[in-house]
Amino acid sequence: MTRQVLGAVFENFFFELGQVFELGWQAFKSIFKKPFEKANFLQQLEEVGVNSLLVVSLTAAFGGLVFGLQTYLAFHRYIGPGSESQGGPIIAVGLCRELVPILVGLMVAGRVGSAMAAEIGTMKITEQIDALFSLGAHPVRYLVVPRVLASLIMVPILTLYGDVIAIFGGFAYNVLLMKVNKTLYVQNTLKYFEIWDVSVGLIKALIFGLVIAVVGCWQGMTAEGGAEGVGRATTKSVVVASIAILILNFFLSKVLPSTLR
């Protein structure tokens, strides 16, 4: 009995994984086919990027502040007063490699991935996807490609922007609030912090962006059964994308080299 249930769960998992890869592959093939849906692409750039700025600003700022706070405390208590300026590079590296990409990924999954699932899901159940087809627009090319491209471009940009805000948050907590020596803090940071640390975060962001858009579109395209079905698709897109982001994040951290020096 439990074996059967487990079997069904696994089967379903691989079936859905197959659907996601299928859609991703179709979108990839469609990128190079004409016509390119420019209006939709620009609209999605705005939706994913510009409209996420406030959320990303807030999460990055407070993420940076709290990360600065804990690092300060750790040095202050375990190494001793006066050692706090050594926290600079740890804060910068931790933020750029881990915290900011994850925060941005989760926020965008919640804000944009869910909206993609809801919008496309509504179009699906009201036959608008069928209508696209009957009017000569390929649904994947018209709906999925612009969203995937916009996410691929905008999630890394948001992450880079978040990096700046968050690093400043950590700096502000230590230097401005706790009066850590500014020169030492900056010197230490510049000594250990590499461009590669930022790049790792951006590589992650690129992959998270892909996951968010493909999962959101996939849930929308497979939505069934009225308003309830769209609601389910929306929730599921957020849950699946968030979990995938956290799991992928660990393996990417493990696989990507820690330094290029």
Partner 1 sequence: MNKIKIQLSDVHKSFGQKQVLRGVDLDIYENETIVIIGQSGSGKSVLLKHIIGIMKPDRGHIYVDGQDITQLSEEELMKLSRKFGMLFQGAALFDSLTVAENVAFGLRRHTNLSEEEIQQVVKASLERVGLRGVENLLPYELSGGMKKRVGLARAIAYNPEIILYDEPTTGLDPIRADAINELILQLKKDLCVTSVVITHDMNSTYKIADRIAMLYDGRIIEVGTPEEIRNSSNPVVQQFINGRATGPIEEW
- Judged by the rule CB under 8 A, the positions of this chain that interact with partner 1 are 35, 119, 122-123, 126-128, 130-138
Q: Are 214 and 27 in contact (CB under 8 A)?
A: yes
- Distances from the Cα of 130 to the Cαs of 16, 41, 74, 180, 246, in angstroms? 22, 21, 58, 62, 35
Closest of 237, 207, 208 to residue 221, by C-alpha = 237
Kindly calculate the radius of gyration of the chain based on its CA atoms and give it in whole angstroms.
Answer: 21
Q: How far is the CB of 135 from partner 1 (least distance, A)?
A: 4
Q: How far is the CB of 146 from partner 1 (least distance, A)?
A: 13
Q: How far is the CB of 177 from partner 1 (least distance, A)?
A: 46
Residue (117 or 205) nearer to partner 1, CB: 117
Residue (30 or 85) nearer to partner 1, CB: 30
Q: How far is the CB of 29 from partner 1 (least distance, A)?
A: 10
Both structure tokens of 95: 């933020």
- Distances from the Cα of 200 to the Cαs of 93, 127, 142, 192, in angstroms? 10, 42, 31, 15
Q: How far is the CB of 132 from partner 1 (least distance, A)?
A: 8
Residue (81 or 136) nearer to partner 1, CB: 136
Residue (129 or 198) nearer to partner 1, CB: 129
Residue (34 or 261) nearer to partner 1, CB: 34
Closest of 83, 90, 93, 23 to residue 256, by C-alpha = 93
Distance between CA atoms of residues 74 and 86, nearest Å: 11
Q: How many CA atoms lie within 13 A of 46 on its CB side?
A: 5
Residue (140 or 198) nearer to partner 1, CB: 140
Q: How far is the CB of 153 from partner 1 (least distance, A)?
A: 21
Q: How many CA atoms lie within 13 A of 200 on its CB side?
A: 28
